[in-house]
Amino acid sequence: MKKLFPIIKNTAISAVIITVMYWINVLLKFTLHINSMIPMLYVLGVFFIAIFTDGYFYSIASAVISAVLVNHMFSSSGNGLQYTYNVITSTAIILFVSLLTCTVTAVLKKERRIKEASLRAHMRANLMRAASHDLRTPLTSIYASSSAILDNFDELTDEQRLELVREIRTESHGLIRMVENLLSVTKINTEDVELTMTDTVLEELIDTVAVKYNRHFPEMPLTLDIPEEFVSIPMDAMLIEQVLFNLLENSVIHARGMTELVLRVTLDEDRVNFEVWDNGCGLPKDKPDKIFDEYHDSTLVSNETVSKRNMGIGLSVCYAIIKAHNSTLRAENNDSGGASFSFALRRTADE
């Protein structure tokens, strides 16, 4: 099915364009009696086909068909030999145009691919840099705490030893979260993004996120504001769960002075809008959306506000996941002065 799809798509595009050109010509010929435009319009048609289809095959085939059609329209008079000659000449001309276009578009398409690939490579390199920085901090702490216990076991009091072990566990938790995020990035940044799209019940998604949130941050209550009705949304549930959790975690860690944290979901006709709302200190005033750009800009990755505790990776993971769902993650300051992160998902599968 996957293999068949491009063939069907390309054939359909070619057929539609040729048909449209044919009817335009018929219209011109019989209403305005203009014949001179016929070859030009077919050349234009083949030109479009060359742009919108993949490879050479479709444009060459269209060129031959167009040539036959051109001559069909002219050939109310003339003998058989003349007809064949005309077909060959116009095929040659149209073919030439189409081959030229194909070559040019192929070059353009290739260039775009290279550019995308290098952008991805660039992003990955930055993430790795952010990751190695973010990984080193908890690792240092774990290493230091465990060495302290091993080297000074007898000198430490029970309380001190417990404190160090607790430290190890807290830092390990941080590491676990970070590795989860890194794995998702790898999943998304590979050439063929493979999302596991399943119909997910909104309530179950929110429940899973809320349970996880309450376990991690029992000290900061989360308010849920979600619709009552049964909604099922196609998504990669594990990834979206991660986005929501990352955003909530981001608020807990960065929104200084926050007293209220809300996870809100509203329904549109064809979309489901998710919002993580807090009334903390808000995002930098000048350009809230910039918060995502920073992870794509290597010079800013080591910036302290960004790389503090995992969020460097966390937010850029969110951004990438939402993008892979054909949507955009937006960051802005809300009426309370705090930050709002929002995105929308389609209620029915794309296509």
Q: Judging by DSSP bridges, how do beta strands 261-267 and 222-225 pair with one another?
A: parallel
**Tally of CB atoms within 10 A around 189:** 15
The HSE-up count of residue 84 (CA atoms within 13 Å, CB side) is 2
Nearest of 248, 239, 245 to residue 277 by alpha carbon? 248
CB of 169 to another protein, least distance (A): 9
User: Nearer Cβ to another protein, position 82 or 198?
Assistant: 198
CB of 242 to another protein, least distance (A): 11
User: Nearer Cβ to another protein, position 40 or 165?
Assistant: 165
Whole-angstrom Cα distance, residue 304 to residue 134? 11
CB of 214 to another protein, least distance (A): 6
User: Nearer Cβ to another protein, position 29 or 264?
Assistant: 264
CB of 349 to another protein, least distance (A): 14
CB of 56 to another protein, least distance (A): 39
User: Nearer Cβ to another protein, position 28 or 195?
Assistant: 195
Whole-angstrom Cα distance, residue 140 to residue 72? 79
CB of 172 to another protein, least distance (A): 7
**Which residues of this protein are in contact with another protein, per CB under 8 A?**
172, 176, 180, 183, 196, 198-201, 203-208, 210-211, 213-214, 222, 224, 226, 230, 232, 237-238, 241
User: Nearer Cβ to another protein, position 116 or 199?
Assistant: 199
Q: What distances in angstroms separate CA 147 from CA 94, 141, 153, 155, 173, one per listed residue?
A: 77, 10, 9, 13, 19
CB of 196 to another protein, least distance (A): 7
User: Nearer Cβ to another protein, position 50 or 233?
Assistant: 233
User: Nearer Cβ to another protein, position 134 or 294?
Assistant: 134
Nearest of 167, 185, 244, 172 to residue 212 by alpha carbon? 244
